[in-house]
Amino acid sequence: MREVFHKETDLHNCTGVLLPGGFSYGDYLRAGALAKMSPIMPAIKRFAEQGGPVMGICNGFQILCETGLLPGALMLNKNLRFISRSVGMRVENSDTVFTKHLWQGQIVRMPIAHAEGNYTADPETIRQLEERQQVVFRYVDPVRHDAPNGNPNGSTNAIAGIVNASGNVLGLMPHPDRAAENIIGSADGFPIFLAFAEAAQSATRVEHSF
């Protein structure tokens, strides 16, 4: 595993790309809008288009949407405030490279921490996402799973995470990275990293021509 600085232009033969959370460029202008322009992004875009596994968490998800690698946008939370809390998510599709160690319908718990996580897209895009089972995670109340307050930020259809049409790019607002060991409150995120690592290991090295 290695860190690639935003000013680099080469992914150094990486076989998987993780775009972590944080405030890239301070989230100034709009979350992810400036990161889209950073020198490393063309390489990530090529990597994703060639089928390499890419996972974006929180700000990473926002960057993937801004870049167009995932459809839709993440608007300001419905209450117009930053929200930091533990949420429940239901696994809506366990048949992706990222979710194969979770089971369909499983409720996982992890934190969210964002001001712009309100997933929005035009009705046709939403319909397609649902129909093609690209909605991978959906917010639910962690205690009473059908309770209406399970959706923390106003996301359309309570969408918490999606994959692209080819299934190799995942974006999600909740933080599996902050839920990967029990001492910090939940280990529910660990299987996602396990699956991602396996996907990266088994990925045939994409030929890079840059």
Partner 1 sequence: MSSVYSPVSLDTALSHGLTPQEYEQILEILGRTPTFVELGIFSAMWSEHCSYKNSILELKRFPKSGKRVLVEAGEENAGLIDIGDGLAVCFKIESHNHPSAIEPFQGAATGVGGILRDIFSMGARPIACLNSLRFGDLSHPRTAQLLDGVVRGISHYGNCFGVPTVGGEIYFDPSYNENPLVNAMAVGVVEVDKIIKGAATGAGNPVFVVGSSTGRDGIHGASFASEDLSEASKEKRPSVQIGDPFKEKLLLEASLELARTDALVGMQDMGAAGICCSCSETPARGGTGLKLDVDKVSRRESSMNAYEICLSESQERMLVILKKGKEHLAKDIFSKWDLHADEVGVVTDDKLFTILENGNVVGQIPADSLVLGGGAPQNRREHARPAHLDALLSFDPTHLPDPDDWNEALLALLKSPNIASRRFVFEQYDHTIGAATAQGGGASDAGVVRIPGTQKGLAMSVDCNSRYVSVDPRRGAALAVLEGARNVACAGAIPVGITNCLNFANPMKPENYYFFHESVTGISDACVALDIPVTGGNVSFYNESASGPVRPTPVIGMVGVLEDVSHHVGIGFKEEGDFIALLGSIGPDLGCSEYLAVYHNVVAGAPPKLDLEANLRLIRLLPELAKQGIVRSAHDLSEGGLAVAVSECSLAGNIGCLLTFPWKEQVVNTLFAESQACALVTVSHEQWPALKRAAEEHVVPLQMLGRVGGELIAINDWITLPLELARDLYDNSLADSLGL
Residue type, 194: L
Nearer Cβ to partner 1, position 81 or 132? 81
Stretch that binds partner 1, among 94-102, 163-171, 174-182, 191-199 (CB under 8 A): 174-182
What is the closest distance, in whole angstroms, from the C-beta atom of residue 182 to partner 1 in the complex? 8
For 66, the token pair is 């801004």
Unique residue bearing structure tokens 């995120």: 189
* CA atoms lying within 13 Å on the CB side of residue 77: 17
CA gap 30, 10 in Å, rounded? 25
Residues in Cβ contact with 44 at an 8 Å cutoff, skipping those fewer than 6 apart: 11, 17, 19, 54, 67, 69
Provide φ and ψ at 140, rounded to 5°.
-140, 160
Stretch that binds partner 1, among 36-44, 90-98, 122-130, 182-190 (CB under 8 A): 182-190
Unique residue bearing structure tokens 């660990």: 190
- Collapsing DSSP to helix, strand or coil, 74 comes out as strand
What is the closest distance, in whole angstroms, from the C-beta atom of residue 38 to partner 1 in the complex? 12
Contact yes or no for 39/8 (Cβ under 8 A): yes
For 77, the token pair is 């939370």
84 binds partner 1 (CB under 8 A): yes
Indicate which single residue of 166, 183, 205, 209 sits in contact with partner 1 (rule: CB under 8 A).
183
Residue list 1-20, contact with partner 1 (CB under 8 A): 7
CA gap 106, 94 in Å, rounded? 9
178 binds partner 1 (CB under 8 A): yes
Nearer Cβ to partner 1, position 24 or 96? 24
Nearer Cβ to partner 1, position 84 or 104? 84
Beta-carbon count within 10 A of 46 CB:
15
Nearer Cβ to partner 1, position 84 or 202? 84
Residue list 95-124, contact with partner 1 (CB under 8 A): 111, 113
Nearer Cβ to partner 1, position 21 or 53? 21
Nearer Cβ to partner 1, position 52 or 174? 174
What is the closest distance, in whole angstroms, from the C-beta atom of residue 21 to partner 1 in the complex? 8
What residues line the site for partner 1 (CB under 8 A)? 7, 21-23, 25-28, 81-85, 111, 113, 143, 175, 177-178, 180, 183-185
